[in-house]
Amino acid sequence: MAGRPIIVHQFDWLKRYGVEEFIVTIGHLKERFLEALGSGRRYGVHVSYVVEEEPLGTAGGLKNARALVDREDAFYVLNGDVLTDIDPRRTLEALDGGALGVIALVPLQSPYGVVSSDEKGYVTLFREKPTLGEYWINAGLYAFKPKVFEYLPDRGDLEAGVFQKLAEMKLLKSVKYNDYGFWKSVDTWKDLEEAERLLARGGGRLGNAEKFR
């Protein structure tokens, strides 16, 4: 997008918050990542790779990288299809006490316009794709302590079992980003086109994303 891979936009975002070491867990089309990113030097970061010979899921893929982060106090985990400029440090700040993980949450944005009407059927308000503040969604950004690896399966997903288990054990916290500037999950061609448009308006960068959200 805007002439660069999504992951490079993620590098730029996290570099602004002092992150310079990245581990990319890859399987399908791994050669494309290696070709595009290399060592990361051209982007001012250091990139290591953990290759999945077969699909392991988000939990299994993370566990596959255990040896590279096991000695850290904490680390971020990020979905590869997310564009955002939220401050990730808030998740680390919330990673206290007995919690092993923190999930970043953002308000749900309606994919459709929302219409209000009065008792006679007259339209009173039309809001184009409003933010639904009473509902919160997973932003695809997490902070973990290495002890979380003890709860990860060799194959499986974080979202489809691990998070529920950690939540039941009071080991999982969340941070709500009420004042985030920009967040978008790029899952469809429509998402891709919209993100391209927003990036073009912002000069191809997310640094001033709050101005063109």
pLDDT confidence tier of residue 205, bands split at 50, 70 and 90: low
CA distance 106 to 82: 12
pLDDT confidence tier of residue 212, bands split at 50, 70 and 90: very low
Domain edges within the chain: 6-105+138-211
pLDDT confidence tier of residue 210, bands split at 50, 70 and 90: very low
pLDDT confidence tier of residue 203, bands split at 50, 70 and 90: low
State the average pLDDT over residues 36-48.
94
Task: Say yes or no to pLDDT of 180 above 80.
Answer: no
Pick the CATH number of 6-105+138-211 from 3.40.50.300, 3.40.50.720, 3.30.300.100, 3.90.550.10: 3.90.550.10
Average pLDDT score over the chain: 87
Q: What is the pTM of this model?
A: 0.85
Task: Encode pLDDT of 82-99 as tens digits.
Answer: 988 899 999 999 998 889
In sequence order, what DSSP letters do the residues of 53-109 get, joined into one string?
SS--HHHHHHHTTHHHHTTSS-EEEE-TTEEE---THHHHHT--TT--EEEEEEEEE
Task: Say yes or no to pLDDT of 206 above 70.
Answer: no
